[in-house]
Amino acid sequence: MRRFVLALCSLVVAVSVSAAAPKIDIKHVEPLSWWVGMTTDLQIMVNGSNISLCDVQILPENQGVSVKALHKAESPNYLFVDVAIADDAKAGDYTLRFTNGKRKYDYKYTIAERREGSRERLSFTNADFVYLIMPDRFANGNAENDSTDDTAEDADRSKAWRRHGGDLQGMIDHLDYIADLGATAIWSTPLLLDNENGASYHGYSCSDYYLIDPRFGTNEMFKTYVEECHKRDLKVIMDIVPNHSSTSHWWYGDLPFSDWVHQWDEYTQSNWTFSTNMDFNASKSDLYQMESGWFDKSMADMNLDNKFLLNYFKQWAVWWVEYSNLDGFRVDTYPYNEKHPMSEWCKAVMAEYPNFNIVGEVWTSSIPQLAYWQGGNYNKDGFNSNLKSIMDFPLHDALRSAMCESGNGGWGQGMTRVYDVVSHDFVYHDLDNMMIMAANHDTDRIGDVCEGDVRRMKIVHTLLLTMRGMPQMLYGDELMFRSTDRSKGHPTLRVDFPGGWAEDSMNLFDASQHTGDQKEIFDYTRHLANWRKSKEVIHSGKTLHFIDRDNTYAFFRYNDTDVVFVYINNSNDAHEVPWSRYSEITDKLGEGRDVISGDMVDMKAVKVEPMSTLVVEFKL
């Protein structure tokens, strides 16, 4: 496959020729470029035939940039070059000169000026509402890149498992829709090259860590996408996968080291049991298979215990932040990585960007196991992940189960499930850095869980937009999207957004085309999300909640100046709000304002209809 290379990092012709030594043939140089003033050390990985036979120098000399050390790999076709960059080094184009006997080969390498304020960049926080996009299924802004000569799989929108043509231009075209909804950050599933022969649309099988998939666009277009997001006050969270890469990656024909990936005598899958990381009773063999087993036959498991690979991933993460001006990372399958190297990785990224945020996918219903992975948590084994944020799957599970139980509740049923999860908040180290969600790209659509009932959807979105933590919503859930065929798994829940393709008969990016339940849930969600933007009491206020066994749930978010009361009636009966029961907080409250209707409310006599919500705000 032809490799796309940034203009700032291009090959320069050899300066001399000799038949006494093999021809110097450089295929890959990564990172593609670098910057002055970085905390992260630069170690350039060079790939080319017999490149290990070469000496390397950096020209011009006396500019503050020089070769510090060279490291050979097991394969003679790799060389790792440690580069020293002085504090007063000059930005500009440098020459990496490779010399093998009398043969010399020059490679232009750019060390640029760093963006002003880059180190101090801010990231996503509990004040944000994160909108999750699957690029291939969102919008097709450029039909000419749906299939390319450089990639293995062509687009075919008629087949669920194939690519459908969504791309970066399509995302850019509809940023105003996302901003209008009230979202303040976008997490998109991976945009890097996934060159598998089939089902490559999801992007989680990376074939090139420094290349945007050409069916999505280019590296430059990704930069443009980030710029356009920032113009609309939308932060950008990049989805990354250090745990595994595609066997179609260019290095699989010739690994730098035999332990670059985990090798097995025969294909061995992970046992998926990441409790082995903290289980004192777990066998070493179970832990090894969990960490080292492959995710899939086409997804080779990376070995982060290899110090060169770990360094590669540290630099790679920093490069994308600096190059494209990112605001955060979401790390896929976090616990399947070797935990100590990943802790070092998190620490390295945060050392470069102290205000940065990284959220890890830790898919477990166990609250203690989830808490283990958040940085700073008290763990008996002394482990500190340095991972700032975690995804709240226990709440996700409870919320979805509750939506399937609309009766009168009881012990352990309905909204009691949500209460029980929140009652365990004492286990977590940092509640502000919990990402909460009702669905993502790997789960059934919440519209399917709610069976298309707009009342239930309102309950879901009310909880997401008023509870502690950072709410995340899957694209289309604001319109109650449903899967095309739940029996066929992931591809059918990852539906195309109507209006994202020129041939679509309906354009749901246009709010004027919303009707019926879609209009009702969209308008409700947009109103609540935009209200949430300026509500510090929702972002970081404390929670006070009350237990009931009738499938209702009442909680308050409060700080020194504001109180928000949320009442969820998930039952089939109307309920009067038992305001006097909440006297420990309500005694100091006067009349409140209904957030949805805008009307003033006397809470001493309020009835909430079946399958309904109430959100009321008060000033202290």
Q: Catalytic residue, from 332, 352, 477, 617: name it.
A: 332
Q: Round to whole Å and give the CA distance between 52 and 78.
A: 6
Cβ 283 vs Cβ 232: under 8 Å: no
Residue that the structure tokens 């085309």 belong to = 513
Q: Round to whole Å and give the CA distance between 53 and 56.
A: 10
Q: Tell me the pairing of strands 235-240 and 328-331.
A: parallel
Q: Round to whole Å and give the CA distance between 385 and 374.
A: 6
Question: Which two three-digit tokens encode residue 570?
Answer: 């998930």
Question: Which two three-digit tokens encode residue 385?
Answer: 């992940």
For residue 591, indicate whether it is catalytic. no
Q: Round to whole Å and give the CA distance between 133 and 112.
A: 32
Q: Which residues pair with 135 in a beta bridge?
A: none
Burial of 576 per CB tally in 10 Å (0-12, 13-18, 19+): exposed
Q: Which residues pair with 162 in a beta bridge?
A: none
Q: Round to whole Å and give the CA distance between 407 and 8.
A: 62
Q: Round to whole Å and give the CA distance between 376 and 491.
A: 37
**Does a cis peptide bond (omega within 30 degrees of 0) precede residue 76?**
no
Transcribe 340-352 into DSSP letters: HHHHHHHHHHHHH
For residue 87, indicate whether it is catalytic. no
* End-to-end CA gap in the chain: 64
Query: Any residues with CB less than 8 A from the CB of 404 and at least 6 apart, and which?
Result: 449
* Cβ atoms < 10 Å from Cβ of 473: 25
SS3 330: strand
Burial of 60 per CB tally in 10 Å (0-12, 13-18, 19+): exposed
Query: Any residues with CB less than 8 A from the CB of 527 and at least 6 apart, and which?
Result: 595, 596
Query: Any residues with CB less than 8 A from the CB of 503 and at least 6 apart, and which?
Result: none
SS3 269: strand
Q: Catalytic residue, from 167, 301, 361, 405: name it.
A: 361
Q: Round to whole Å and give the CA distance between 466 and 527.
A: 13
Transcribe 39-50 into DSSP letters: SSPEEEEEEEET
Catalytic residues: 332, 361
